[in-house]
Chain A
């Protein structure tokens, strides 16, 4: 399974619309994306909780575990590594990641699709 970036960058919102450590949801080409700024880094992951099945990840609590930036699902508190999407509490569970960057004060997202 190799992630590939198949779509173009989409401008989503001004960077200052993101509060540190608190997510927002965005719709990118019909896909719900959760966006975060933590520790000065920008992260984009799927808004779908892979365990609970609801689109809520943008409302999770951002933090760290052992130095790794993390996101906890607000449904049942599973914790994910924001950099890799790997679930730190359950084996074989992964949160899909997307690419995010900031250009001229505007946050842009590029979807990844897994083959």
Chain B
């Protein structure tokens, strides 16, 4: 098709995926896209809907990213399709189309039983449904779910989490009848009943009866019994939403659904259907993976591709009520002549079944209940040879570790996104060294996530180290160590390594622990034992240079400096013969200071009102600024004032990596704020906050996090962002990599620090308040303390003798390190001649 106006009806998971797939490939911008959405919120992850009851916010389930090439009309459902005029009508207007994609999904089927219209009866389909369930369930005691399938068990768990005594009523003689066989269903039932959920199997609900207040109070069952329920969820199946198509005269499938061919096109060449509303060659698929496949097909077709529907992957894996349940391929053994291998272990309460071809060589499908760790490997092996003997695959301890290596290259590792083992291996060969990198590179593991364990195994199989252990001395990651130190109130490295590590530490773990202790406010970085943990920069509060000398960097907040201070810097540089350079961070570096000169240099600077700029530490460095509205014709806010305030607020803050920031006074971005860990750009009405940018080896622009903030709102968000990062990032992980590695990315971060989804905000705020209140200048602290000053000597037995190896040449009128050839590794490393004229050593 050539392009033009494209209307999409529906903004569910598949509709959203379709739009993304199209937009990603439509480089020529051939299609102008309008999306009509019935719900008032953009697409969200319906598969994880139940996570809502586990405290996950609606924001975290969001799947939608703003796209200025797509007009998303929320709360504007389509009411009709006029195929003759090629127009979709809504309550508020008409949308002409050159191509129309139906992504209307399905609705919850409610059986024709008296009382389903009573207050307190819900379906389980949308976030609004869940909000209604939560509201009605408050203060009530009993709940029931009609339907013991996937969705019904999820709903049962939701009711349990709301504190209701819960019953499940299922018409079939076992739970999850579609996915699980009889033995698997029996195992599942044991789990479910142990959790306190009552099951009624093989019975139908004949009526719902009201209580005195008119709301639902109980169920009457076909065996004559009754079940008390103050709240009822109907989860008896779904039906495709095909009413628009029917009204427009389009053909539907034998069991409903918009009839389409393998290209997902209806009999009208301008109309397509994707997801659960589509009956592909007559069959509707009620799972997201086949839905995504239809989205990809139609995106391809609209751009003149030749994709066809590859067939449905009906594999499912869920953790229902804390029980792993998985089913894949021909789970019920419908293939003629097939063989079953089953494994039941009452001790670990696991059940597994493999369905094999009649020659026992090809895996056709299977069921796992209780322990589904073999699921990713098995699912990827369907249709191919068994990667290991059946018992080895099913034994819970087997972990099928050897199985992954035996997977064929064409096996689909991630069926949601159609990623094969070959794709993963290629990404690993291309440099992806961890799961987040693989996710970003291949999209594997980004939908249902069930293949993430296999991604780890494939990394292992490729020889990529996956341990989160900090080093040989600690098995814990940096984040875990942070928690240990915080929770246990540990104040010293010795105690930490004695109780939670081994050996004596090293240049990896010691600075990390030093940083953690500093973040938790345990005093000056050179206090007591902490001094021995510091990298040389933190130890000498200056930056080690190639010749063993140090550079000194006084703080110049926001890059604003008075002439008097500028003169002092010049005088100090002149008097100590220091090479002087203005840096990219709007500061002035003074190079070539020897260890014993550092306190003398600081004394002069501190007396003039300077303090340490922390150029040496994994800490906040600078907040750069433009001149903003103070001087600039275009500036709209006081960027200098804000930069100074922020730099002073966060000075001395120790972090997993150095942190930089900038404030621009208008969108011209003269301060280059978007290349910083947190950047701020002024708007007419406030501040826009960008997070996760950096320069460095792999430059990255920061992402827009929040807009038009007041200064107070801005500072609160930055406080929380920094503290959450400091607490949870890995060693030497920049904010960019940290956000990428967060499950849920920026949206998750937003949920945590804006919506307080983890209940951490008060704690983060308090931690930052402590930091701000406890700041004191490290240089001044050294100058005031003879014990600390003692460290700043050249030689322990000759404290007044300068290091004779530090000598200078002159370039462009300034001192630079004399270029003696450094001894090459492995070459002659005999003593080099020591400079002549050495001062006498006192003995």
* A and B together in one complex: yes
Residues of chain A having any CB pair with chain B under 8 Å: 10-13, 17-22, 24-32, 35, 38-39, 48, 50-56, 59-67, 69-70, 72, 74-75, 77, 79, 90-94, 96, 113-114
CB contacts (< 8 Å) of A32 on chain B: these are 795, 803, 805
- B66-74, B248-256, B827-835 - interface stretch: B827-835
Q: Are B507 and A50 in contact (CB under 8 A)?
A: no
Given contacts A56-B544, A59-B544, A60-B536, contact A27 B507 (CB under 8 A): no
CB contacts (< 8 Å) of A30 on chain B: these are 834, 838, 841
Is there a chain A Cβ closer than 8 Å to B85's Cβ? no
Chain B: which residue is nearest A94 at the CB level? Answer: B829
Tell me, rounded to whole Å, the shortest Cβ–Cβ distance linking A109 to chain B. Answer: 9
Q: How far is the CA of A27 from the CA of B841 in the complex (A)?
A: 7
Contact indicator per residue, chain B 668-700, by CB within 8 Å of chain A (1) or not (0): 000000000000000000000000000000000
CB contacts (< 8 Å) of B544 on chain A: these are 56, 59, 74-75
Q: How far is the CA of A19 from the CA of B826 in the complex (A)?
A: 32
Q: How far is the CA of A60 from the CA of B803 in the complex (A)?
A: 17
Contact indicator per residue, chain B 311-349, by CB within 8 Å of chain A (1) or not (0): 000000000000000000000000000000000000000
Given contacts A10-B843, A75-B544, contact A17 B825 (CB under 8 A): no
Tell me, rounded to whole Å, the shortest Cβ–Cβ distance linking A44 to chain B. Answer: 12
Most buried by A among B507, B536, B821, B832: B507
Is there a chain A Cβ closer than 8 Å to B422's Cβ? no
Q: Knowing that A20-B529, A39-B504, A53-B820 are A-B contacts, what are 5 other residue pairs whose CB atoms are under 8 Å apart, sorted by A's residue number? A: A22-B539, A25-B794, A54-B547, A63-B507, A67-B503
Tell me, rounded to whole Å, the shortest Cβ–Cβ distance linking A101 to chain B. Answer: 15
Q: Are A77 and B822 in contact (CB under 8 A)?
A: no
27 A-B residue pairs with Cβ-Cβ distance under 8 Å, sorted by A, are A12-B796, A19-B531, A19-B532, A20-B532, A21-B504, A22-B539, A25-B794, A26-B798, A27-B795, A27-B801, A27-B841, A30-B841, A35-B796, A53-B822, A55-B805, A56-B544, A59-B540, A59-B544, A63-B504, A63-B506, A70-B506, A72-B506, A72-B507, A79-B506, A91-B826, A93-B826, A113-B831
Q: Are A55 and B825 in contact (CB under 8 A)?
A: no
Contact of A55 among B504, B798, B803 (CB under 8 A): B803
Q: Are B507 and A61 in contact (CB under 8 A)?
A: yes
Is there a chain A Cβ closer than 8 Å to B200's Cβ? no
Tell me, rounded to whole Å, the shortest Cβ–Cβ distance linking A53 to chain B. Answer: 3
Q: Are A63 and B505 in contact (CB under 8 A)?
A: yes
Contact of A52 among B472, B546, B801, B843 (CB under 8 A): B546
Chain B: which residue is nearest A52 at the CB level? Answer: B822
Is there a chain A Cβ closer than 8 Å to B727's Cβ? no
Q: How far is the CA of A38 from the CA of B468 in the complex (A)?
A: 28
Q: How far is the CA of A77 from the CA of B76 in the complex (A)?
A: 62
Is there a chain A Cβ closer than 8 Å to B511's Cβ? yes
CB contacts (< 8 Å) of B503 on chain A: these are 63-65, 67
Tell me, rounded to whole Å, the shortest Cβ–Cβ distance linking A9 to chain B. Answer: 11
Q: How far is the CA of A11 from the CA of B797 in the complex (A)?
A: 9
Q: Are A79 and B843 in contact (CB under 8 A)?
A: no
Q: Are B831 and A59 in contact (CB under 8 A)?
A: no
Contact of A22 among B531, B825, B829 (CB under 8 A): B531
CB contacts (< 8 Å) of B531 on chain A: these are 19, 22
Q: How far is the CA of A72 from the CA of B830 in the complex (A)?
A: 20
CB contacts (< 8 Å) of B829 on chain A: these are 50, 93-94, 96
Residues of chain B having any CB pair with chain A under 8 Å: 472-473, 503-507, 509-511, 529, 531-533, 535-536, 539-540, 544, 546-548, 793-798, 801, 803, 805, 820-823, 825-826, 829-832, 834, 838, 841, 843
Contact of B506 among A29, A50, A61 (CB under 8 A): A61
Interface of B is mostly: loop
Q: Are A26 and B825 in contact (CB under 8 A)?
A: no
Q: Are A75 and B506 in contact (CB under 8 A)?
A: no
Q: How far is the CA of A107 from the CA of B505 in the complex (A)?
A: 25
Tell me, rounded to whole Å, the shortest Cβ–Cβ distance linking B527 to chain A. Answer: 12
Most buried by B among A21, A77, A94: A21
Contact of B797 among A12, A53, A67, A91 (CB under 8 A): A12
Q: How far is the CA of A54 from the CA of B804 in the complex (A)?
A: 11
Q: How far is the CA of A42 from the CA of B151 in the complex (A)?
A: 68
Contact of A50 among B504, B535, B547, B825 (CB under 8 A): B825
Q: Are A54 and B834 in contact (CB under 8 A)?
A: no
Given contacts A20-B532, A63-B506, A66-B472, contact A31 B831 (CB under 8 A): yes
CB contacts (< 8 Å) of A12 on chain B: these are 796-797
Tell me, rounded to whole Å, the shortest Cβ–Cβ distance linking B808 to chain A. Answer: 14
CB contacts (< 8 Å) of B801 on chain A: these are 27
Chain A: which residue is nearest B549 at the CB level? Answer: A54
Contact of B539 among A59, A75, A96 (CB under 8 A): A59
CB contacts (< 8 Å) of A11 on chain B: these are 843
Given contacts A26-B797, A31-B834, contact A92 B506 (CB under 8 A): no
CB contacts (< 8 Å) of A19 on chain B: these are 531-532
Chain A: which residue is nearest B839 at the CB level? Answer: A27
CB contacts (< 8 Å) of A22 on chain B: these are 531-532, 539
Q: How far is the CA of A59 from the CA of B52 in the complex (A)?
A: 53
CB contacts (< 8 Å) of A51 on chain B: these are 825
Q: How far is the CA of A72 from the CA of B544 in the complex (A)?
A: 14
CB contacts (< 8 Å) of B803 on chain A: these are 25, 32, 55
Given contacts A39-B504, A53-B822, A74-B544, contact A65 B536 (CB under 8 A): no
Chain A: which residue is nearest B835 at the CB level? Answer: A30
CB contacts (< 8 Å) of B505 on chain A: these are 63-64
The 7 A-B pairs of least Cβ separation, nearest first, read A53-B822, A63-B506, A72-B507, A54-B548, A74-B536, A64-B504, A61-B507
CB contacts (< 8 Å) of A79 on chain B: these are 506-507
CB contacts (< 8 Å) of B832 on chain A: these are 48
Tell me, rounded to whole Å, the shortest Cβ–Cβ distance linking B804 to chain A. Answer: 8
Given contacts A25-B794, A31-B831, contact A59 B826 (CB under 8 A): no
Tell me, rounded to whole Å, the shortest Cβ–Cβ distance linking B627 to chain A. Answer: 39
CB contacts (< 8 Å) of A18 on chain B: these are 796
CB contacts (< 8 Å) of A96 on chain B: these are 829, 831
Chain A: which residue is nearest B539 at the CB level? Answer: A59
Chain A: which residue is nearest B805 at the CB level? Answer: A55
Chain B: which residue is nearest A12 at the CB level? Answer: B797
Contact of B548 among A29, A55, A90, A91 (CB under 8 A): A55
Q: Are B805 and A90 in contact (CB under 8 A)?
A: no
Q: How far is the CA of A49 from the CA of B546 in the complex (A)?
A: 11
Q: How far is the CA of A54 from the CA of B795 in the complex (A)?
A: 15
CB contacts (< 8 Å) of B805 on chain A: these are 32, 48, 54-55
Tell me, rounded to whole Å, the shortest Cβ–Cβ distance linking A97 to chain B. Answer: 13
Tell me, rounded to whole Å, the shortest Cβ–Cβ distance linking A12 to chain B. Answer: 5
Q: How far is the CA of A26 from the CA of B801 in the complex (A)?
A: 10
CB contacts (< 8 Å) of B843 on chain A: these are 10-11
